[in-house]
Amino acid sequence: MTMDANLSVMEKIMEDARDKVWDIDHGEMKTKQEYKFMVQRGSYLANMMLVFSYQMDTLVIDPRIYRRSGCWDLVCFGIGQVLYNFNQTLSEIENTIHTEEKEDFLKNELKKDLPLVREGIRITLRLMTGARNLGIQDFMILHDVDLNTGPDSIMNATMRVLNSNFCSAESGLRGDAESLLEMMDSSFQNDFSHVSGAGASSTSSANGDVGISATIVGGGGDTEVLNLNDVDEEQIEEASLDMRAMHKEYSPREMLQFMTEAVRNNPRVKLKLQHRRFQFAEVLEEIETRTDPAKCKDNLGDGFCGVKITWGELVERMVRYVRTHNFDTDEEHSIRIFEVLRSSVLRARCNDKGEEVDFDNSPTGDGPKHEDYAKKQKFLDSLGVTQMVAVAISTHVAGIEGNAADAALELLKELLYSGNVHVQLSIYNYVSDVDKDAKFLGHFKTRMAVSQDIIRNRKKETHLDFVAMSELQREGYINAIQTFAVLQQLCEGHNTMTQNLLRTQPKHRKDINLVGETIKMFTMQAGNDLELRNMEEKEIELLIATMDLLTELLQGPCRGNQEFVTRDDSFMHSMETAVQSQFSTRVNKGLRVKVKSTAMVLMASLLEGRSDLVVHKKMTEIFEPRMFEVVHGYYSRTLKSTQKHSKLDDDATANRVDEILVGVVCLKRVVGELRLIPTFHALGPDVLEEQRVAYKEIAFDRVAVIEVSWKGRIEAVSFPIPSEVDYLSQTTKEKFLSRVSLDTAEKRMKSLLQEAPIFISEMTERHHLAHHFYLYKILSKNIYSIKWCMYALVVLLNLNVVMASYGAKHQDKGYQSAVDALFHGHVHRKYVNSLIITWVLGIINACGYVVIVLFLGVTEVPMIIRQTDEHVKANKAAVISAYNPRAFTWWGVTLAGNIMFIIMHMANYPGHRNYFLYSFLVFGINLPWTITCVRRYIVIPNSKYARLFVIIYDTSIQKPFFRNHVLLLGCSFLGFQSTPFFTLMLLDIVNNSQVLKDIIRSITRPLPQLAVVFYTFVLTVIIYAQFGVNYFEEWFQYDSLADDGEKHGCHSVVACFWLIFYGGVPIGGMTEVMDNISNKEGNSYLARVAFDLSFFVWVGILLFNVITGLIVDTFSTLREEAGKREDVLINSCFVCGFTRAHYDDIGLSSAPSFDSHKNDIHGMWNYVYFYFYLTRKDPTEYNGVESYVAQLKEESSLQWLPSRNTLVFQNHEQAEDNEDGSGGIGGSSSSSIEMGGSNMGSTGSSGNDFRALRKEMSMFGKGIQELVDRIDKLETTISGTDTE
């Protein structure tokens, strides 16, 4: 919709409203209170006003608009009504006593109305400015009452808005309101005299002159009375010149430039243009396929095919062109080449809509896209693009917007994005070996100098009070941020070469110290607290960018930069100011939190990897312990308000909490390092103790500390615990601890870190579900309580069913099927109440198991899916077959055996085919074995059906808890049809009881041995059946209690086999399956005695006792293993291998207890959380120790883990070394500690022997050092004599 059409619609709406608002009989307007809601927020007219304001802001305004009465009616009626409504609500808050809830509601309504008020004031300001520029003040005079002189005029209403507390927090609204009041009249100050009660008043001086004063409310709520008569003539003249410049009439060409600028800055237009540039870059990149004669011949014909051109050849031509025409006056073609190359790289990190994707905030979510992006960076660098850009930057003037250097800088920023090491190396080689005059670094120094001038001028404006930033200043700050972003990417990834290169250039005649220039800019920005409080958001962003660059220059660590920065006292004091400053509330709270967290990260980077105390001592001279308490108090309050009272959405709240925790982590790290200095303790021990307690209040659950072996010493590493860790179930932890090998600390930690991805997968999946589904969150926290409640319900249900079950022969009592009893009337009316109870409990029970199965399904199944997909992805390029044909080898043998058995059975029992037996062999034995073989056959499930089969199979095998509950759910439904299925649900106790699980393990663990014993049972029965039929056939009987004439026996080996197996094996003798024999039978009697007695001894005594022994021994072994495992877990450190006895033998009174060391300092699960933290964190944001651990993690190395050492012992050894003068803090005297490790056995020296041995070695080292010093002096003397 055009502005003209929009205004026409609003004119129609106001014309219709005019009849309702004006009283026709008296010719005056009705009370505005009656029509308060005609232009309220959200109404059609209000929305049209917002659109009209945006159109006036972005489009070229037709001068005829200023002459349309509809525009002035919009101001006088629409905008006047908006301001009136806003001020009415203000008055209601100030003059009426409300409840706290009502007042909060009104304040929220005011905040929601602020955008409409702001845009209304802007419309009025633009309309009056345009009318003045065109010289058509007659409309202003016509509406003078509504604009200036009326009691409800726009001027008075705007003044009321300006003086409100809501306006003080909105810098944009305040500036627009002040500009509008100035525009009301060229002599704005003199017109204040007739505005009663609006913040302006007239005063009489002693000589009778009338003075004008105005009350202005500052951003912090302070009021200041300005006497407008004190303004001198020079200031009035300057204001007059400014006013004439503002009222300048612009030419059509200038208006066209304004329109062009508005179009260029329109986000949608910019996105469209960028998308078109991407399309052009795509065409160039695919130029090979478009010019290849073999391909274009098919599409275009013979006459259109030329020479084949590749994208690489095009890039080489572009590079040659820019180098050849680098010094041309016309830079347009070079700039276009820079833009094309930048579009080629940028396209790789944009989505389909052309929107840029920030890899830094999603390092794991865009892996393939990130790899493609890095390949493009490397490709262009290999063709000389980086050096071309460096030459262009070196040879062009800095600070000129839109020149070749500016375009080259944008391209370099994109090439360096995410710290591309190839581009960094190219820049390093160019600056070190080619650019001997340091023009490249000089260009950045010049840009910094321009930025420093802008900052200096800005500080002059705001040294007393806040002043809104001009557009020119804002552009300068944006350029400064761009400069720092490029330098930061140049050092990204802790590139020590470029970090040092920005400070000193050994191969150059003179150094250009950009580190020093950065420090200078930082001290300029953070000079004092007042200047920080008067900052705008853009100034805060530059301050953050400055500290980010300094952090990147220090981390790694870069020792030279650390010492250089620390020596600058002004920097240290500015750091102290920035950390403690209370920034103005006009700045976004999230930005205020970020600037403090960035300052703490910078402070921590100063101490990173320092094996000496040089930086520590310098920092303790500047920073007092009380400062850290103040910072911690700020974090504590902000965290509490964010978590409990924040109106942000969940994602924004989580981001702010993460930012706070970053600051807390660095604060904890800095304090822990500075506590190595004794004077830091002496200055404020109580403060440190209060801080330690406060840390537990804020960071005990969200911040963890682990110890890492780095650069030959133990380093304490603090990190924010990811919120997902709350969803790592205790069952998963116990399952891991029950099966991990505890032989050595190395084996334990290797197993823990190998299982870490599985733990992370569970935590991530469960956290995602809990975050999006509240019911899942409740179930996740109470699943075991729900399980026990459900089992109690199952017990009650079975008690009721048991009391109502009488068997099929008693149809008049109870019922066997709840379904038949309800729908077919198969129940006596006396049992109706019992049936109701069964149905009620059964339905609740079934619903409960449905919920549990769904909960377990959405928890467990996605883990299997992710595990399967990751396996496919990991082996996608592997040179292994996706299938394993050998998986069916033994399956074929089993199938052949079953077939042969069926054939033999059919041959030996003609006419008596047992299809039940055949089905059991096929489906009961061969089918499960077939499914297992199919799973073993599928190595990589790379097809849809194979993937589905693998997921179902692995879920049923690897997730027994879920599988068992699916079976229980089936029983809960089948129980309605046949009540015995309800009794099977009582077995759910096995899922809930660890004791029963151990008993079952005592049976399943010796299962192979038990299978051999069972096979022996079968062989034994076959042997005895064969001999029994041949020699004692007449004595076999099915019923020992039947009369002699009614007894029936078996007359085949198979029949006697089943008879003995059923009647003889359970009792371990033949008395139940064979009739008694008298001793009068002669030899037959003795044979029976031997036959029966041998069966009893072999089966009843030996085989049954073998089974009992296997189970009992296994149970005892399990109990013994559990006891040993528990002893190791309690009395040994899982991480470093210290045992409780050896730890206590060290005998340090200042050391924490062994339990504290094992559970807190070396808490095993904290290392898993740290693994997760590194996995989720952007690699470009790693500090030095995190980069070191991440690199070793990729190499599957455990060198970063502390082995039989801990920080407290290391610090104690170093402190004693310093006292003895035998060494600095850099050494790590771990030899004596290692002697107390778990691998040295249970014997060892006492703590005193350790210290004595260490002192002797220290004295020996001291003597060696003295001898070396004497030799050096002697060599110096000899050298001096030779010279003479």
User: Which pLDDT score is estimated for 629?
Assistant: 84
Euclidean distance between CA atoms 878 and 506, whole angstroms: 47
* Structure tokens belonging to residue 823: 């729908």
pLDDT confidence tier of residue 28, bands split at 50, 70 and 90: very low
Residue 203 backbone phi and psi in degrees, to 5: -130, 155
Q: Quick one: average pLDDT of 1150-1173?
A: 87
- Phi-psi category of 714—alpha, beta or left, where left has phi over 0 and alpha has psi -120 to 50? beta
Contacts of 1039 (CB under 8 A, 6+ apart): 1046, 1047, 1048
Euclidean distance between CA atoms 521 and 542, whole angstroms: 10
Q: What is the pLDDT of residues 1200-1252, one digit of tens each?
A: 998 888 888 877 776 666 555 544 433 333 333 333 333 333 333 344 444 45
Euclidean distance between CA atoms 1175 and 1189, whole angstroms: 11
Average pLDDT of the chain, as a whole number: 78
- Weakest-pLDDT range from 468-472, 629-633, 772-776, 810-814: 810-814
This prediction has a pTM of 0.68
Q: Quick one: average pLDDT of 38-49?
A: 65
Q: Quick one: average pLDDT of 512-520?
A: 93
pLDDT confidence tier of residue 295, bands split at 50, 70 and 90: low
pLDDT confidence tier of residue 455, bands split at 50, 70 and 90: very high
User: Which pLDDT score is estimated for 360?
Assistant: 54
User: Which pLDDT score is estimated for 685?
Assistant: 44
pLDDT confidence tier of residue 388, bands split at 50, 70 and 90: very high
> Percent of the chain, pLDDT > 70?
76
| Sign of torsion over alpha carbons 615, 616, 617, 619 | positive
DSSP state of 879: S
Residue 187 backbone phi and psi in degrees, to 5: -105, 60
Per the CB < 8 A criterion, the answer to whether 1066 and 1106 are in contact is no
User: Which pLDDT score is estimated for 966?
Assistant: 93
* Structure tokens belonging to residue 243: 């006013």
Q: Is residue 1082's pLDDT more than 80?
A: no
Q: What is the pLDDT of residues 967-1000, one digit of tens each?
A: 999 999 999 988 889 999 999 998 888 888 888 8
Q: Could you tell me how many residues make up the chain?
A: 1284
DSSP state of 978: -
Give the HSE-up count for residue 808: Cα atoms under 13 Å, Cβ half-sphere: 2
Strand partners, 225: 215
Q: Quick one: average pLDDT of 13-29?
A: 54
Q: Is residue 148's pLDDT more than 50?
A: yes
- More confident position, 1036 or 650: 1036
DSSP state of 360: G
Q: Quick one: average pLDDT of 1177-1191?
A: 87
User: Which pLDDT score is estimated for 1244?
Assistant: 35
User: Which pLDDT score is estimated for 331?
Assistant: 87
User: Which pLDDT score is estimated for 872?
Assistant: 85
- Weakest-pLDDT range from 294-303, 370-379, 488-497, 1006-1015: 294-303
Per the CB < 8 A criterion, the answer to whether 583 and 540 are in contact is yes
Q: What is the pLDDT of residues 86-143, one digit of tens each?
A: 777 777 776 665 566 666 777 777 777 777 787 778 788 777 777 776 666 666 777 7
User: Which pLDDT score is estimated for 1197?
Assistant: 87
Q: What is the 3 state secondary structure string of 3-18?
A: HHHHHHHHHHHHHHHH
User: Which pLDDT score is estimated for 646?
Assistant: 65
Euclidean distance between CA atoms 4 and 81, whole angstroms: 22
pLDDT confidence tier of residue 1172, bands split at 50, 70 and 90: very high
Euclidean distance between CA atoms 106 and 112, whole angstroms: 10
The answer, yes or no, to whether the previous bond of 1152 is cis (omega within 30 of 0) is no
Euclidean distance between CA atoms 490 and 482, whole angstroms: 13
In the chain the first and final C-alpha atoms are separated, in Å, by 95
Q: Is residue 25's pLDDT more than 50?
A: no
Q: What is the dihedral of CA 1075, 1081, 1083, 1084, to 10 degrees?
A: -20
Euclidean distance between CA atoms 807 and 979, whole angstroms: 11
Euclidean distance between CA atoms 648 and 377, whole angstroms: 38
Q: What is the 3 state secondary structure string of 31-89?
A: CHHHHCCCCCCCCHHHHHHHHHHHHHHHCCCCHHHHHCHHHHHHHHHHHHHHHHHHHHH
Q: What is the dihedral of CA 310, 311, 312, 318, to 10 degrees?
A: 120
Residue 868 backbone phi and psi in degrees, to 5: -65, -45
| Sign of torsion over alpha carbons 1009, 1011, 1013, 1019 | negative
User: Which pLDDT score is estimated for 257?
Assistant: 64
pLDDT confidence tier of residue 1023, bands split at 50, 70 and 90: very high
Euclidean distance between CA atoms 214 and 197, whole angstroms: 11
- Weakest-pLDDT range from 84-93, 656-665, 826-835, 1036-1045: 1036-1045
Mean pLDDT is highest, among 543-547, 633-637, 1073-1077, 1136-1140, for: 543-547
- Weakest-pLDDT range from 229-238, 316-325, 570-579, 1033-1042: 229-238
Q: What is the pLDDT of residues 737-785, one digit of tens each?
A: 988 888 888 888 999 999 898 899 888 888 888 888 888 888 888 888 8
SS3 92: helix
Q: Is residue 1265's pLDDT more than 50?
A: yes
> Percent of the chain, pLDDT > 90?
21
Per the CB < 8 A criterion, the answer to whether 526 and 578 are in contact is yes
Q: Quick one: average pLDDT of 1141-1165?
A: 83
Q: What is the pLDDT of residues 840-889, one digit of tens each?
A: 999 999 999 999 999 999 888 888 888 888 888 877 766 567 788 888 88
Q: Quick one: average pLDDT of 387-407?
A: 88
pLDDT confidence tier of residue 603, bands split at 50, 70 and 90: very high
